Structure 1
Amino acid sequence: MATEIPSDIDMVQRDPSDLNSHVKVMFEEVLGEPDGSHSIDGVWRCAFKCFEGSRNLCYRILTAICAVPLAFCWGCEFAFLSFYHVWCVTPYLKAYIININSCKIMYRACCSACCDPCFESVGRCLSDIRVTYVNQ
């Protein structure tokens, strides 16, 4: 079953599940000058443009170089993970459940054989106890 590439892929909202909200870093979250320690306005503007420009340029260069090979690697990783679960984990768990049910039946039989006579004896001994209240 081949996966089709959606024709209506959203090129604006690229993280609709908000998977990477922890890496949204803005200039104001990294650099800040407290009152009384302000640089020249032009320097602050230049620092802002430098930060934003270098962050965007570096990100674009890294994605241009690494995005396709990494997407391929992650695709292979998740294909392997799916294969492993379909062909190894799920059958193993099913076999384990079948085997553990046999153990459950044996354990229940052993407990019944050993414990039931004791519980019945104690129950018969204690069944003759009568509690009466004396009004004073």
Structure 2
Amino acid sequence: MSEPDIVDMAHRDPKDLNSHVQVLYEEVLGEPEGSHSIDGVWRCAFKCFSGSRDLCYRILSVLCAVPLAFCWGCEFAALSFYHIWCVTPFLKMYVININSCKVVYRACYSACCDPCFESCGRVFSDIRMTKINA
């Protein structure tokens, strides 16, 4: 896995992973017809909401982004290690063993069921259909 050498600072979510957490003022607060506050209060509430949301996010990012990025990097490294060194070899071993079981199962099944199926086939192969004119 190679990572790009340059980080795109303009498009930080190019695969649209987190569009579901994009919260706009209009999606959280709304005044129905007949219940409107003063225009200045509505503008001030909008600025307060947007400013506090942005400031809080930036503070949390400064405090937590690097340590969490380190933790998630370690987590995905451990996950990759586990899959490469444990899961894939185990699955390969399982497929090899189950193929051996399949050969034994097929032989037992054929030994027990094939005579019955052949007998039924012979019995039913002698049935003849004729059309009777009335």
TM range, normalised to the smaller chain?
A: over 0.9
TM-score w.r.t. the length of structure 2 is 0.96
Shift of 1:4: 5.5
Residue 133 of structure 1 aligns to which amino acid in structure 2?
K
1:108 aligned to 106, 109, 113, which one?
A: 106
Residue 113 of structure 1 aligns to which amino acid in structure 2?
A
Equivalence for 2:57: 59
1:7-18 pair list within 5 angstroms:
7=6, 9-18=7-16
Shift of 1:121: 1.0
- CA deviations over 1:38-95 (Å, ceiling 9, x no partner): 1111111100000000000000000000000000000000000000000000000000
Q: How many residue pairs end up in the alignment?
A: 134
Equivalence for 1:6: 5
Equivalence for 2:45: 47
Shift of 1:13: 0.9
Q: Secondary structure at the match of 1:6?
A: coil
Instruction: Please give the root-mean-square deviation of Cα atoms over the aligned residues, in Å.
Output: 1.2
TM-score w.r.t. the length of structure 1 is 0.95
Shift of 1:122: 1.1
- CA deviations over 1:115-134 (Å, ceiling 9, x no partner): 00111111111111111011
